[in-house]
């Protein structure tokens, strides 16, 4: 038997927080469909970014229960642990938009830090030192590591924490609490820090879905600064497979970085997106390039993120499968086919 804790058991009761959001809905769908013997309990407060229709394919499956509620509600969270005998947690619920964190930092501190702490406390209380086959998986971001120079370097699991935005500071703080619960109480935790995701069902305030919306309607495409900031993009389905691996096989107390290995400057990405949307709409190639408008840079804008995911690749055998071109084409197609979802998402936020 290797050192890996392989936690696949015939029956598990897993709490997935933030399951009506972008990544969470893909995680819930994957676990409900792939593990019919597991009972998946989704907890989501259905904020502007959460949409119950994201779960429509699996909402009423017999191995799935949806609960509308807040992770900061201690009584509710404790009740869920006890009523459903929760033995595993995949924690994704968070306020996740950097620009919103700049205008409302307190909301991010309360939601992302106190919310995580509430879940950790509930797990500690419910599991009461009996940690066999239990797991608390905290899903975090590469933004906790700060920024890299344009000319090189990658974030590894031992990179220094140096968050620059209130969003990344709140995620960094929640990571520290998760690690502290492992080190202090031996809570069986794992943490994953992932690069930028893209794919179907992302709320249309983030760059890719927002710009698809604007290109279709011939609205301006506001690019921060000179557009030179670099991000490392990963298709959401590949992220979900990595989470499955780490949840079941990751070593307790450890951290795993997840990255797509597709580094693009924002302006390169926007140009690719324009080509893709114009081609799907049958417009002349590059017709929408003149929609690009450069706007004042975001405060504290990190220059470059790039993830070294060799630990996850070498030790757990994960690697991303989706090429960026194909993933982007699928994503664009999904948004063009789901205009009602987009309009409804925007209306819900008003
Ligand atoms: P999202 O904003 O699309 O979804 C977040 C979900 O959490 C929403 O459904 C929302 O209703 C729910 N939620 C928020 N606060 C809650 C609360 N207090 N109680 C219950 N539910 C609550 O976010 P996402 O992009 O899917 O990100 C999910 C997680 O993955 C986050 O923790 C984020 O930090 C992390 N992450 C995201 C990315 C990315 O590129 N999107 C990259 C790395 C890590």
- 174 pLDDT more than 90: yes
Probe ligand 1: pick from 48, 92, 209, max atoms within 8 Å of CB? Answer: 92
Would you state the pLDDT for residue 2?
Answer: 43
Would you state the pLDDT for residue 3?
Answer: 43
**CB of 144 within 8 A of CB of 150?**
no
* Averaged pLDDT of the chain: 95
- In tens, the pLDDT along 255-275 reads 999 999 999 999 999 999 999
Give the integer Cα–Cα distance in Å for 247 and 300.
Answer: 33
Give the integer Cα–Cα distance in Å for 17 and 21.
Answer: 9
What domains are there in the chain, each with its CATH number? 13-198+234-261+300-322 (3.40.50.720)
Residue scoring higher pLDDT (281 or 2):
281
Probe ligand 1: pick from 16, 22, 91, max atoms within 8 Å of CB? Answer: 22
- 314 pLDDT more than 60: yes
- 152 pLDDT more than 70: yes
**CB of 227 within 8 A of CB of 266?**
yes
**CB of 327 within 8 A of CB of 260?**
no
263 forms beta bridges with: 232
Which strands, in side-by-side order, build the sheet including 38-44?
A: 64-68, 38-44, 12-17, 88-91, 135-141, 189-194, 255-258
- 1 pLDDT more than 60: no
Strands (E), the chain: 12-17, 38-44, 64-68, 88-91, 135-141, 189-194, 196-198, 221-224, 230-235, 255-258, 262-265, 292-295
Ligand 1 atom index nearest CA of 23: 26
- 4 pLDDT more than 90: no
**CB of 170 within 8 A of CB of 108?**
yes
- In tens, the pLDDT along 43-84 reads 999 999 999 999 999 999 999 999 999 999 999 999 999 999
The percent of the chain in helix, strand and coil, each rounded to the nearest 5, is 45, 20, 40
- 163 pLDDT more than 50: yes
Mean pLDDT computed over 99-104: 96
Give the integer Cα–Cα distance in Å for 136 and 65.
Answer: 19
- Ligand 1 mean position, distance from CA 93 (Å): 5
- Residue 143 falls in the annotated catalytic set: yes
10 Å CB burial of residue 314 (0-12, 13-18, 19+) is exposed
**CB of 305 within 8 A of CB of 232?**
yes
* CA-to-CA dists, residue 258 to 55, 133, 164, 197, angstroms: 24, 24, 20, 10
Mean pLDDT computed over 278-301: 92
- In tens, the pLDDT along 107-130 reads 999 999 999 999 999 999 999 999
- Ligand 1 mean position, distance from CA 21 (Å): 6
- Ligand 1 binding pocket includes 44 (Cβ within 6 Å): yes
**316-342: burial string, b at 16+ Cβ within 10 Å, e else:** bebebebebeebbebbbebbeeeeebb
- 7 pLDDT more than 70: no
Cut 0.85: pTM above it: yes
Would you state the pLDDT for residue 300?
Answer: 83
Which backbone phi and psi does 135 adopt, to 5 degrees? -155, 135
- Residue 200 falls in the annotated catalytic set: no
- Ligand 1 binding pocket includes 23 (Cβ within 6 Å): yes
Would you state the pLDDT for residue 8?
Answer: 57
- In tens, the pLDDT along 217-256 reads 999 999 999 999 999 999 999 999 999 999 999 999 999 9
């Amino acid at each position: 038997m290797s050192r890996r804790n392989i936690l696949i058991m015939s029956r598990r009761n897993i709490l997935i927080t933030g399951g009506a959001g972008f990544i969470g809905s893909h995680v819930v769908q994957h676990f409900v469909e792939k593990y019919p013997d597991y009972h998946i309990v989704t907890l989501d407060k259905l904020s502007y970014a959460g949409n119950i229709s994201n779960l429509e394919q699996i909402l009423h499956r017999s191995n799935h229960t949806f609960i509308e509620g807040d992770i900061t509600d201690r009584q509710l969270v404790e009740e869920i642990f006890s009523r459903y005998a929760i033995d595993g947690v995949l924690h994704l619920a968070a306020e996740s938009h950097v620009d919103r964190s700049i205008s409302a930092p307190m909301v991010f501190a309360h939601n992302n830090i106190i919310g995580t702490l509430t879940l950790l406390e509930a797990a500690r209380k419910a599991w009461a030192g009996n940690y066999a086959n239990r797991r608390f998986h905290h899903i975090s971001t590469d933004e906790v590591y700060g920024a890299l120079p344009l000319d090189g370097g990658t974030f590894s699991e031992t990179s220094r924490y140096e968050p620059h935005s209130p969003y990344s500071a709140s995620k960094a703080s929640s990571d520290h609490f998760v690690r502290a619960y492992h080190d202090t109480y031996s809570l069986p935790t794992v943490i994953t820090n992932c690069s930028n995701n893209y794919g179907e069902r992302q709320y249309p305030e983030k760059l890719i879905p927002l710009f698809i919306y604007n290109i279709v309607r011939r609205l301006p495409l506001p690019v921060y600064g000179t557009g030179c900031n670099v991000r490392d993009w990963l298709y959401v389905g590949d992220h979900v497979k990595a989470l499955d691996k780490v949840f079941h096989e990751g070593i307790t107390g450890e951290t795993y970085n997840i990255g797509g290995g597709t580094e693009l400057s924002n302006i390169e990405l926007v140009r690719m997106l324009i080509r893709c949307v114009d081609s799907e709409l049958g417009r002349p190639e590059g017709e929408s390039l003149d929609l690009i408008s450069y706007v004042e840079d975001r405060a504290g804008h990190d220059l470059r993120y790039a993830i070294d995911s060799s630990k996850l690749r070498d030790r757990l055998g994960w690697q991303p499968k989706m090429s960026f071109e194909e993933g982007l084409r699928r994503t664009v197609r999904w948004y063009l086919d789901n205009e009602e979802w987009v309009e409804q998402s925007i209306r819900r936020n008003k």
